[in-house]
Structure formats: C-alpha cells, structure tokens
Amino acid sequence: MQKIHKFINWYFSRNALPYWCILAADCLLLFCFYLFGYYCFIGGDGIVDYFWQKVGVISLCLLFYMIGFRVFHTYSNVIRYSSFVDLYQLACANVIGTLCVIIIRILFVDHDNTIFPGLRITLFAFCFGTLSMWAVRVLVKTLFDVVDVNVNAKRVYIYGTKSQSVSIAKSVRSQHPSKYIVKGFVSPQTGQNMKYLAGLPIFDVAGSLISRMKRDDIEGIIVSPISTIDFCADQEFIDLLTDNGIKLFMMPEEFEWNGVSPITNGNMLHQVDVEELLPRKQIMVDTDAIANDLNGKTILITGSAGSIGSEMVRQIAKFTPKCLVLIDQAETPQHDIRLMMADKWPNIECHTIVTSICNQKNMEKIFAEYHPEYVFHAAAYKHVPMMEDNPSESIRNNVIGTKIIADLAVKYGTGKFVMISTDKAVNPTNVMGCSKRICEIYVQSLDKALKDGKVQGVTQFVTTRFGNVLGSNGSVIPLFREQIKKGGPVTVTHPDIIRFFMLIPEACRLVLEAGVKGNGGEIFVFDMGDPVKISDLAKRMINLSGAKDIEIKYTGLRPGEKLYEEVLSTEETTLPSFHDKIRIAKVREYDYDNINRIISDMGKKCDSLSDLEIVRTMKHIVPEYISKNSVYEVLDQKQAKS
C-alpha cells in the first residue's frame, strides 16, 4: 500500500511523463488486444500455438502503428490536458497502423496463415485498442481533476453563456493545481435557468441567485471579457454581489487571451478593481485616421510621466511614430517611462528629458533640436486644494508653462498642438480650474490670431476637456485603497458629492482622435457618461476589498471644491462633432493681443504679487470664476458690492 501511495505521489507531482512512457503504454495496449483477438477468434490454442512467433509478428505490426504515432505526435501531448482533438489524432494514428497491417496481410501473407493476424483480429485490436487509449487519457485527466484539487481553491460561477465562457471554464479546469472550481454559469438573459452548458448548470441573474450561491458555497464570479459590458451595465447586480461578499474576477481582454491555451499563469485571472466596474459602453475611435496622421511623425509629449501623459505615450507608440520626445520634471517616473519604451518599443527613437516646461531656455533647445510635428500638452498641476494655497505656482506652471510651449510650437512650425484641459475649467470655482480656463483662452485666441494673419505660423491649436480619470496619481481611488489597506476610516468630503469619471485609456483614445481630426480653435468636450456618487464608490471599494467594519468619515468640502461638477456635453452649450462621444464647446472668443499682454504681465509679477492680487487678476480674465468654500470668496463679495 505504501508503494502505491509513493507511486501516486510521484505520478501526480510530475509536470509530464516522458514520451517513451506514453508510447510504451499505447503499444502495450495494442499488443494485449492483438493477443486477446487471437483468443476470441481462434481460441485458447490460437495463442499457445506458435506463441513466440505470434509475439514477434505482433511486435512487427506495432512498428507500423508507431509510424502513425510519429505522424500525429500522439506521445508528445500532456495527457492531463487531452482534448477531443488529441483523441481524434490518436484514432487517425491507429488507422494508419491498421491499414498497413491489412495491406501486408493481403499482399504478402498466405490466406491460410494463422500466425499473422487476420482481418477480424486486426479490426478487433484497432477498435478496442483505440477505445482503451481514449479511456486511459480520460481516466488520467479525471484523476488529475480529482486528486490535484487545491484545498484552497475558490468555488466560482462564470458570468456569460457564450462560447468564450465555455472556453474559460475549460481553461480554468485544466489549471494545475486548480485555483478555481467552476460550479456553473450565470446568464444575463432570462429563460435559461437550470439549463446546462458544458455539463454545468446555468442560473438567471433574475432568479434567487444569491441564495443558490450561498447553498453552493460560491466565493466568486469570473466575468468573461465578451460579457463585461453587460455585467458593468447591471450596477444593482454588482452591488448585490459585493454586499454579500462575492468576489469578482476578470479575464484579460479578448485580444490578450486566445481562449485556447490553458491558464498556466494564475495572474491571468485577477480580482476586479473598481475602475473596471464603471458602467460605460465601449468607445470606438477611428484608429486608421490616427495611424495615418501619427505614423512616422516626431511627437513631443509634456507631462509624459503622469497618469494621462504616460498613457498617451503608450497609445501613441502603437502607431509607430518616427520619434517621441518626452518631457517631465519627475525623474523617477520618467526613468520608468524610458525603461518601458526600451522594453516594448525598442525600434522607436525616444528621448526622455527631465526638465520643467517653465524652463524657457531648455524648451527652446528641445524644439530647435527636434522640431516636433505634434505636441500633446498634458503637463499641469491638477490638485484643487494645493493650487488654492499656491496660486502663483498655478499661474507659473499651468498658464505660463502652456504659453511657453504654445509659442515655441508656432515658432518652430509644429503642425498640431493638442492641449489636455479639465472639466473644472467650466464655470470654475477654484484656482486650478481657472488657470486651465486661462490656458484654453490663450491657445484658442492664438489659433484665431494665426488664422487671421495677426501671427505668422502654421500651428493648429486643439483643446480637449474632460473630467476625472479613474485611478490617476493622487486621485480618490488610490487614496481610498490606501485607507482601506490601513483599516480605515475612508474619508469622503460630503455624502452627496458626485463626479464624472472616465477610464484613462478611453480618455486618451478620444484625445488622439480629437487631436488628429480637429481643425484648430476647437475646445472638444467628452461625453463622461453618468455621474458617480463618491460615497457609493467608497462603499463598493470597501466591499470589493472584503474588509469589514470600515467606517466612511465625512470631512466637509475642501477649499474650492464643488458639490456637483458641471455637465460638459449638453446640447445647449456644445455642438456635434465627428464622434458621438465628442462635442465642441460654444465659448466666447478673446482678443489675442489683450490676453497675451495680461498673461505676460502676470508671469513677470506673480512672484511679487500677493495671492489675493493674483486671484483678482484671474477673476478679471475669467469673470465666471466664482470661488466656493475658499478664502478668495471675499473678492467676489467686494465685486458684488461695487
């Protein structure tokens, strides 16, 4: 018994048996069924008479079967991963061997010869030999599924009932040691309850699914990539699952996973982040137009190490530009970008430069050396409370920095300048939002001056405006994650505060299409979808983490913070464009000479002016800037009295 136990441990601990073991086992099965065929069709004496001669003849016949095994490589497959294709190839290999034996019998052996196997014996050995080989493979596969189950494996359902969901179930089952045990499928459509798919039951979302999951001790749901949009659209179902402690797992995107290879890497399945549950329809962009315009170009990206800038680098690199010039003043993340480019796109000429966009001399050298054909301007200070405390830095970095880059783009003949702005520039209530609105005013007025011939140049200026992006550096989601990790409390400024969110990749895709298709002078605003209540976001993140008893603490609105963000893309304030998710803002025009003079003045004096004086000038440029929950409200009160 101990020897049997050792053999089982040895067998199931091996990655795969050697080829010769599988080949020998298959040949042994055929050998036994040839002998048994003699017994069945000739009798007991049929085996005893000329026994060793028959052994020799059968061994000769096995050489022909080995030709089939070699043609179809039946011995090189890992038995525990056997599929229908493997069984089919095994049968084909045996057909080759059987046909060879029959042809030899007919052409070269006397009809009365009882030593060489006859037609009946050969067909008998083929049928039962093939069936036994199939049975061995199915038995080994089943034994692995039973013996090699991880005691810590999670019992899961798979969301979706399409072919890809079945492929996922097969791949999960073939993983050793198994991390997940698939117990059924969840259908987003009604009417499929208690039907079966791939031998597993299907359950409707609309049914008593939670009680069924509790009975089956289900710990999680794996969401098929092809069903992700349907899953994310059902926010009530997601909340029901997370409230009941059900973990959510996702497969990689369809283009990242071929649906055929078994999951040998546990990282292919990951527990979902809250960003992946954002209820949004898939956004498609005109990749052909983007590729045609960016391919072979020299492209400069400011803020290349930031959340938006780094994603812009990744997406633009896919369109094989001639050269990327990446500007950021953060050394460590800029170094990470350099390593990423060298690893993933070694054939693209890439220059990662550590400098500030406010350093005019450095920026002039860069433009003079590389003459970029495209500029994507993502560098900016973005944190509202920080800029409330440091308005001079907001002017210096956001406004003066943008002016420096825009002016150099005109001077060195850049074809297209694409500025990334923010929804906080709409009716701003804080310094940061107002600084970005001044940036918009400057580049838009400069574009008009170019078109009117007041300024000489060929540059087209395009502005893109969108709201919060999920998971960006320093944003609410990384903050919540850190607070949950520490055991709470999770801090939310107000129970009713809402925000519009986009995923970083989809925002960058829209930036690229707007940049490529814009004609200059437009402020493109993106459809941000439905607003998200921040307190609900916090609750969902707590539930997804599996943490218990974490408090949500309301701290009050921060300086300059709005309770509700402005809706960007209403028909009253925008015009349609080439994309249903992109609209053009209707904003009043500014005189370039006047705005250029004011901004240049501010740049020279911002070190000597007080914070109140700087903000007063900003309010003069942007009269719709009304401070909220800020020390600068006093300026609005004085203006109202006057």
Predicted pLDDT at 38: 78
Max alpha carbon distance in the chain (Å)? 124
Predicted pLDDT at 262: 42
Q: Is 503 helix (H, G, I), strand (E, B) or coil?
A: strand
DSSP string computed for 41-92: HH-HHHHHTTHHHHHHHHHHHHHHHHHHHHHHTTTSS-GGG--HHHHHHHHH
**Is the pLDDT score of 268 beyond 70?**
no
Q: Which single residue is written with the structure tokens 């001079």?
A: 392
Q: Which single residue is written with the structure tokens 């970029």?
A: 372
**Is the pLDDT score of 49 beyond 80?**
no
Q: How confident is the model at residue 435 (pLDDT cuts 50, 70, 90)?
A: very high
Domains of the chain, earliest start first: 11-145 (no CATH), 150-272 (3.40.50.720), 287-621 (3.40.50.720)
CA distances (Å), origin 375, targets 16, 167, 296, 518:
54, 44, 14, 14
**Is the pLDDT score of 458 beyond 90?**
yes
Mean pLDDT of 125-152: 74
* Residues 342-393: tens digit of each pLDDT: 999 999 999 999 999 999 999 999 999 999 999 999 999 988 889 999 999 9
Distance CA 433, CA 437 (A): 6
* Residues 474-515: tens digit of each pLDDT: 677 778 888 888 888 889 888 888 887 778 888 899 899 999
Predicted pLDDT at 12: 46
Predicted pLDDT at 265: 43
Range scoring the smallest mean pLDDT among 324-333, 394-403, 463-472: 463-472
* Residues 230-250: tens digit of each pLDDT: 777 777 888 888 888 888 887
* Residues 601-637: tens digit of each pLDDT: 988 888 888 989 999 999 999 999 998 888 888 888 7
**Is the pLDDT score of 11 beyond 70?**
no
Partners of residue 326 on adjacent β-strands: 301, 352
Predicted pLDDT at 323: 95
In percent, the amount of the chain with pLDDT more than 90 equals 30
Distance CA 524, CA 622 (A): 19
289 and 578 Cβ atoms separated by less than 8 Å: no
Q: Which single residue is written with the structure tokens 């694409």?
A: 418
Residue 440: which of 333, 248, 311, 595 has the closest Cα? 595
Distance CA 260, CA 626 (A): 58
- Bigger pLDDT: 109 vs 572: 109
Q: Is 200 helix (H, G, I), strand (E, B) or coil?
A: strand
CA distances (Å), origin 240, targets 206, 235, 382:
12, 9, 35
**Is the pLDDT score of 5 beyond 60?**
no
Range scoring the smallest mean pLDDT among 27-41, 73-87, 442-456: 73-87
**Is the pLDDT score of 108 beyond 90?**
no
Q: How confident is the model at residue 259 (pLDDT cuts 50, 70, 90)?
A: very low
Cβ of 388: how many Cβ atoms within 10 Å?
23
615 and 632 Cβ atoms separated by less than 8 Å: yes
Q: Is 300 helix (H, G, I), strand (E, B) or coil?
A: strand
- The type of residue at 634 is V
Write phi, then psi, for 166 (nearest 5 degrees): -65, -40
Q: How confident is the model at residue 281 (pLDDT cuts 50, 70, 90)?
A: low
Predicted pLDDT at 378: 94
Q: What mean pLDDT is reported for the chain?
A: 82
Q: How confident is the model at residue 473 (pLDDT cuts 50, 70, 90)?
A: low
How many helices and strands, by DSSP H and E, does the chain display? Answer: 24, 22
